[in-house]
Structure formats: structure tokens, C-alpha cells
Structure 1
Amino acid sequence: SMSIKDPFKQWGMDFIGDISDLSSAGHKWILIATDYFTKLLEAIPTKKATHQVVMDFMLNHIIYRFGVPVKIVADNA
């Protein structure tokens, strides 16, 4: 187990969904990322739970804002 001593170096990610009540925009998933050090939460609504959604989210909401993480923890569900 890696000890986290700096913010934004290790993130946990997961999808919440398939939400049965669609939003007015048709979103049925929420992609969430939590920084293990600061407990900062980043989240987006999305219509699909795909690899491309995760990659775009990582680039635009994590890497461009906080830098490249050392570790990303996900359960691959």
C-alpha cells in the first residue's frame, strides 16, 4: 500500500448508475473521482459509462487541473 503524502497524486474513480430516472439531458451515469489526500471530489453526469468518457474526464478534470496522478484506483466495474 502506497502512503500518500501529497495532494492530487492518487485518485479513486467509479461510476454511479445505471440510474433508472434519466435527467432531462438523458444522463444515466455519474463519474466520480476522489483525491485520496485532500478528499476533493470531482464528478460529471454522463449518458454512457465508457472508456472514452473516463479518458476525457481524466484529461479535462484531473490532469489539466491538478497534474498527472501517480496512481488511479478503480474497481473496473
Structure 2
Amino acid sequence: MKLDSPGAPHSEPLASEEWTMEMTQEANQYISIVKRDSTPMCRLSIVVTNKSEAEARTELAEKARRWIREYLERDAQPPKRV
């Protein structure tokens, strides 16, 4: 799936089409696997109570977009000299 459903609230920039997220649930923990071109890049999770699956997905998608932004910024910076 894309990182979130259309119209969901977000504060992080939307990710390009190459980024997707799979979500699973174990009790009250939601886990997402963030992928770039079908390659797993990271795992994120949240523990929630009294939230729907859609609300948890939106929260995880926001975390995923934040991680993607930070990852791309890190990748674009020149290496530090030691």
C-alpha cells in the first residue's frame, strides 16, 4: 500500500511512489515495514489503545514519512571528514 489513504492528515511531506508500507498488528502494537521499490528499508511500530486500524495506519504513515525525509537528507549530505 502507499504510505496512507488519500485525504489523511499529515505534517510530513508526502513520499514518492517508490515508497510503500506494509502494516501488521500484534495485540495493541502496530508494526510497519517501510519499503523502497519493494526493498525493506526500516521497521517502525507504535503501541496504541482505543484507536482504529485506520488511525494507527495514519500515525505510522506519518512516522514513515518522517523517517524517509531524514533518510533522504542523510543520504544527500557529503561524508564527514575525521
* Bigger fraction of residues in helix: 2
TM-score using structure 1 length: 0.48
Which protein is bigger by CA-based radius of gyration? 2
Q: Which TM-score applies when normalising by structure 2?
A: 0.46
